[in-house]
Chain A
């Protein structure tokens, strides 16, 4: 079934660890996004990509990196996790149609940094 998948669903790690959050979509979408969101709160754009080998920074990009080597895969890496990184991370993808750019969101990764 075409969808967008995020792993892990939950992650608890210690301060200073390097982590990678995985995101894959099987819809053939060109655009992919990473958002950070506390429960019911604002969606903060971290990074986005509009195709293979393209990445752009959002407002919260300074402490993370992304790569887009394959259309379907868009992992997010935190080089050194801090307690302030504790949050939910949502991956999304979209296809640019004539009149709509519908985002499909993954189920999210809930990250806790101790």
Chain B
């Protein structure tokens, strides 16, 4: 089955800096790669996702890049703000009806002002 590795487990940056979180996946059939943000005490929320037919996707200060050959994808947050502090989870899925979304172990991002 699919296995998703996520690094780093913790990341501390200064406000205004960029943050990068990286994930690798094992199943070459995976074609859907979302990122979820979970603030303290709250439920995870989808922030951005990408399909395998796209190499990069941007939404304001966040972007995701995908390298299918190397089977890795990354989340980039620019101009970080204190409200970006949260746990971020990457995930991968084949997108087929009978399969599940598999999550990485999470990255705790701390943005200090």
Q: List the interface of chain A (C-beta within 8 A of B).
A: 30-31, 33, 35, 40-43, 45, 48, 50-51, 54, 56, 58, 90, 94, 96, 99-103, 105-108
Contacts and interface: CB of A to CB of B under 8 A. Distances in A.
B97 A107 contact: no
Nearest to B39: A40
A96 B46 CA distance: 14
24 contacts: A33-B101, A40-B108, A43-B103, A43-B106, A45-B100, A45-B102, A48-B100, A50-B97, A54-B98, A56-B100, A58-B100, A94-B101, A96-B97, A99-B51, A101-B32, A101-B34, A101-B93, A101-B101, A102-B46, A102-B49, A103-B34, A103-B44, A106-B43, A108-B43
Nearest to B44: A105
Interface string B69-111: 0000000000000000001010001010110111101101000
B34 A42 contact: no
A9 B20 CA distance: 34
Secondary structure at chain B's binding surface: helix, strand, loop or mixed?
Answer: strand
Contacts of A33: 100-101
A100 B49 contact: yes
B65 interface: no
Contacts of A41: 105-106
Interface residues of B, number: 24
Given A99-B51, A103-B36, A56 B98 contact: yes
A107 B41 CA distance: 9
Interface in B7-66: 32, 34, 36, 38, 40, 43-46, 49, 51
Contacts of B93: 101
A96 B95 contact: yes
A90 B101 CA distance: 14
A40 B95 contact: no
Select the residue from B32, B44, B45, B100 with max chain A CB neighbours within 10 A: B100
Contact of A30 (B87, B89, B97, B105): B97
